[in-house]
Amino acid sequence: MLDRDEDILKAAEDWQKAGRGVALATVVETWGSAPRPAGSSLVINDEGTFLGSVSGGCVEGAVVTEAMDVIQSGKPRMLEFGVADETAWNVGLSCGGTIRVFVEKVG
């Protein structure tokens, strides 16, 4: 209730209406000391512009890359990032937590 996120969903709607391909990535589960709570989201368009945050900067790059595929295919996917995960060694959740991020196409 008390979050003050920038208006990610408004941007999603505006971008979609302007004819852009748009994807929404949302943190759906967290374990350990995750940087952003469930419900945090990131909106991405097909130009690679993004707004919002799912991890405070740690894995956004990887999420944006996956989101591009989701915009193409239209199929949602679930991403997981954590220290036990090979990807995490590359993109890194240095806090030691694990997060699961749901990526879906808008429209």
Partner 1 sequence: MKLEILHELNAERAARRPAILVTDTESGEQRLVKAKDFARDPLCTELEKQLRMGKSASVEAGGKKLFLNVYAPTAKLVIVGAVHISQALAPLARSLGYDVTVVDPRTAFASPERFPDIPLVAEWPDTALPPLNVDAYTAFVAVTHDPKIDDPALLHAFERGCFYIGALGSRKTHAKRADRLRAQGAKENDIARIHAPIGLAIGAVSPSEIAVAIMAEITAVLRLPPKEKEEAA
Q: Is the sign of the CA dihedral 83, 84, 89, 91 positive or negative? A: negative
Taking the C-alpha atoms of residue 19 and residue 82, their distance in angstroms, rounded to an integer, is 34
Contact flags string 68-87 toward partner 1, x per CB under 8 A:
-------xx-x---------
Residue 38 carries which DSSP code?
T
Residue 15 carries which DSSP code?
H
Residue 8 binds partner 1, judged by CB under 8 A: no
Contact flags string 24-63 toward partner 1, x per CB under 8 A:
x-x-xx-------xxx------------------------
Tokens representing residue 81 in the block: 């990032």
Residue ranges binding partner 1 (CB under 8 A) = 1-4, 9-10, 12-13, 16, 24, 26, 28-29, 37-39, 75-76, 78, 102, 104-107
